[in-house]
C-alpha cells in the first residue's frame, strides 16, 4: 500500500531518453511562453497575474539587493515562473511534478550556490572569503568560526533544494492517502462518511495551490538573499 503512494514520484521513460520529468519541464516552459505573448491594452486574467508576479518579484529584488542588484531580476523572475508553473501543474491529477525530486531541486540550488561563489570571487577576488569570518569576532575563535561558516555556506545548497522538494512531497502524499481513504469508504458503502475526507481533499487542494506559489517565492527569496553576497560583503 505504501509503495503505491510513492508511484506518483516515479520517473518513467516515454520515448527513448525522454522522460515524464523532461516532458513536464518542457511543458512548463511552453506555458510560460504562452503567458508572455499576446499582451493587451486591457489585461485579461493571465496578463494580470503575470504583471502581479512581475511587480512582486521586482520589489523583492530591489528590497534585498538595491539598485545594483536589478541585473539579477530577469534571472529571479524566470526562476520563479519556472518553479511556480511546475508546482502548479503538479496539483492536477495524473500530472508528474519534477520539483518533488530532490535531485532536481538540489541540482538547481547547487547551481545557484556555485554561481554565487563564482560571482563573488569575480567581483571581490580573495576578499570574498571574508564572509567566512564574522565582523568583530575575536581572532582566537577564527579557526572555529571559519569552519562553522564554511559548513553553513555549503549547507545552503542542501537546505534550499530539500526545503522545496520536502514540502511538495508531504502535500502530495497527504492528498494520496486521504483520497485513497475516501475511495475505500465510498466503495465500502459508506458514502455518507466518505463525504468528510472528500471535503478535506478540497481543502488540501486549495492548500497545495497556495504552497505551490509560496514555496516558489521562498526559493527565489533565499536565492536573492544569497546573491547579496555578490553585491556587498557582510
Residue spans per domain, the chain: 6-230
Instruction: Kindly provide the residue ranges of all beta strands, DSSP E only, lying in the chain, ordered along the sequence.
Output: 13-15, 18-19
Q: What is the pTM of this model?
A: 0.82
Handedness of CA 145, 148, 153, 159 (dihedral sign): negative
* Calpha distance 113→121 (Å, rounded): 12
* pLDDT tens column, 134-177: 666 677 777 787 888 888 888 888 888 888 888 888 877 777 77
Please report, for residues 11, 22, 180, 198, the alpha-carbon distance to residue 18 in angstroms, rounded to integers and kept in the order given. Answer: 10, 6, 30, 35
Q: Which of 31, 11, 8 lies closest to 19, judged by CA?
A: 11
- Hey, which residues does 18 pair with through a beta bridge? 15
The one-digit pLDDT tens for each residue of the chain (234 residues) are 444 555 566 677 777 677 777 788 888 888 877 777 756 656 667 777 778 888 889 999 998 888 888 889 999 998 999 899 888 887 777 777 888 888 888 889 999 999 999 998 888 887 887 777 766 667 777 778 788 888 888 888 888 888 888 888 887 777 777 777 666 766 666 666 666 767 777 777 788 888 888 889 999 999 999 998 888 776
Assess contact for 232 and 67: CB atoms under 8 A.
no
Amino acid at each position: 500500500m505504501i509503495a503505491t503512494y510513492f508511484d506518483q514520484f516515479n520517473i518513467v521513460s516515454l520515448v527513448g531518453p525522454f522522460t515524464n520529468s523532461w516532458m513536464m519541464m518542457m511543458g512548463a516552459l511552453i506555458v510560460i511562453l504562452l503567458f508572455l505573448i499576446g499582451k493587451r491594452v486591457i489585461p485579461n486574467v493571465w496578463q494580470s497575474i503575470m504583471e502581479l508576479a512581475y511587480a512582486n518579484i521586482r520589489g523583492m529584488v530591489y528590497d534585498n539587493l538595491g539598485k545594483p542588484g536589478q541585473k539579477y531580476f530577469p534571472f529571479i523572475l524566470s526562476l520563479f515562473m519556472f518553479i511556480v508553473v511546475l508546482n502548479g501543474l503538479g496539483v492536477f491529477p495524473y500530472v508528474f511534478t519534477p520539483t518533488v525530486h530532490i535531485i532536481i531541486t538540489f541540482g538547481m540550488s547547487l547551481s545557484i550556490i556555485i554561481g554565487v561563489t563564482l560571482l563573488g570571487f569575480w567581483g571581490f577576488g580573495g576578499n570574498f572569503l571574508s564572509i567566512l569570518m564574522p565582523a568583530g569576532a575575536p581572532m582566537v575563535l577564527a579557526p572555529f568560526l571559519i569552519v562553522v561558516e564554511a559548513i553553513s555556506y555549503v549547507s545552503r545548497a542542501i537546505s534550499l533544494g530539500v526545503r522545496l522538494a520536502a514540502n511538495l512531497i508531504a502535500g502530495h502524499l497527504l492528498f494520496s492517502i486521504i483520497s485513497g481513504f475516501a475511495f475505500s469508504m465510498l466503495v465500502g458503502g459508506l458514502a455518507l462518511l466518505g463525504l468528510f475526507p472528500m471535503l478535506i481533499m478540497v481543502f488540501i487542494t486549495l492548500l497545495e495551490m497556495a504552497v505551490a506559489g509560496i514555496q516558489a517565492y521562498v526559493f527565489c527569496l533565499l536565492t536573492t538573499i544569497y546573491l547579496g553576497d555578490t553585491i556587498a560583503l557582510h
